[in-house]
Amino acid sequence: MAENRRLILRNFLSPDICKELEFIHKSCCTVGYRPNVFSTTLSHLIATNSAHLIMPFVPIRDRLKEKVEECFGCEYELFVEFTGLISWTKGASIGWHSDDNRDHLKQRDFSAVCYLNSYEVDFHGGLFHFQDGEPSTIAPIAGDVIIYTADNRNIHSVSEITEGERITLAMWFSRDASHDEDAKLLKSLSDCALSNHIDSITSCFPILASTNMYWFPPEEASRFQSGFNICFARLHVLGFDIYIPNKECHLSARDSSYNSLKLLEEPLYLACGDKLLAWEFANILHALQVVQFYCWKASGLETDQVHGTSIDIVPLSESQRKEIDRLKTVLLKDVPQVFRRSLQRFCGPQVCEWEAYTLKLLKQMVMSIPYWTTHQSIFSLDVLNLHS
């Protein structure tokens, strides 16, 4: 198969893995590198105290690297050069190009695009086209993967997204060990492991990156005259608002949007309609992770099926509603058209289930890091056997 320039792997990822990666992206992403594109890199997860969320990527990276080496007849070990989640929203597209078409990308030898959702189900537009050869056009289907050489034998484009959000896991592989992504990640992971307590959920609360990384469109990130905070917007399209209590400096017209954005780094509450969830979240990313986790696990997180800490839902007061509306006018200057609306309802056990999931991943990561460090490589381990 060494002559093959490209290959489609059908159903390579399970539906639940696709949904898990979608959860990670929608709760952690920042504004991306192109207009109407959003991204989540492994280094970003580590930097924002969500390093445990790299664990679902590890077996996928192993499987894909092995498959690329096998399918393209590699007589040498490949190195993962980049791993990231990328979503394309309304208006996003890219013209003809190869994946090594810049001097700083020449180390890329092979590409893999894993589709996490489906054409004409979750989004419209976004077809993947090769300039020549077969297959010439690929309609993304959740779970499918396309692998191909990153050079000019596989010049390709993506047509404009007209509706919805097209989500992919993108990976590149290199023959050059100096571009091994693992080496760059391991130092940060080692520092992270030293500071985390595997039985404390507070050690897993996410930390926001700089405020401009969450403002869309990015060209407004210094002026804030139009656009919106993407974390706030993702909650908004799901039917949730943010309430930040006990602030002497209320959000009046004279307050800058920047100062308002800084409030999102502080403890806050979620509201839905005329109800307030009486549970304090560490910041907006913490709230967003819990809500997106529920979107992923909704069918199994009904209140009559899952046991956990009881969380009160109380009526909103008039003063609380005014503060919520004031915050919305500052951080949601435009109604977001790039994210698809999908209203969710409250489910108290979702907080407890998110905590259990998070601590499980943290424990797996902390147990794996010594082995990764020894081998200077991130790879799958049988954590249960290690623990025993």
- The DSSP secondary structure of 82-111, one letter per residue, reads EEEEEEEETT--EEEE-TT-SGGGTT--EE
Which amino acid is residue 128, in one-letter code?
Answer: F
- CB distance 252 to 267 below 8 Å: no
Q: Cα separation of 166 and 159, whole Å?
A: 11
Q: What are phi and psi of 151, to 5 degrees?
A: -95, -170
How far apart CA 116 and CA 122 sit, in angstroms, is 10
Handedness of CA 65, 69, 72, 75 (dihedral sign): positive
For residue 54, give the amino acid letter: I
28 in Cβ contact with 53 (< 8 Å):
yes
- pLDDT (0 to 100) of residue 257: 72
Measured CA to CA, the distance from residue 181 to residue 178 in angstroms comes to 9
> Do the Cβ atoms of 96 and 157 come closer than 8 Å?
yes
Separation between Cα atoms, residue 118 and residue 295, nearest integer Å: 17
As given in the structure block, the two tokens for residue 37 are: 């594109």
pLDDT confidence of residue 266: 94
Q: What are phi and psi of 94, to 5 degrees?
A: -150, 140
- The answer to whether 321 and 306 are in contact (CB under 8 A) is no
Pair 89, 165: CB distance under 8 Å = yes
pLDDT in tens, the chain (388 residues): 445 689 999 999 999 999 999 999 999 999 998 899 999 999 999 999 999 999 999 999 999 999 999 999 988 899 999 999 999 999 999 999 999 999 999 999 999 999 999 999 999 999 999 999 989 999 999 999 999 999 999 999 999 999 999 999 999 999 999 999 999 999 899 876 556 566 688 889 999 999 999 999 998 888 888 899 999 999 999 999 999 986 655 544 445 677 778 899 999 999 998 999 989 999 999 999 999 999 998 865 554 454 555 678 899 999 999 999 989 988 998 877 778 777 666 656 678 899 999 999 999 999 999 999 999 999 999 865 655 4
Residue 366: Cβ within 10 Å count: 19
What is the C-alpha separation between 21 and 125, in angstroms, rounded? 21
Cβ contacts of 235 within 8 Å, gap of 6 or more: 241, 242, 270, 284, 287, 288, 291
Residue 326 three-state SS: helix
CA angle 304–306–310, rounded 5-degree value: 85
What is residue 195's three-state secondary structure? helix
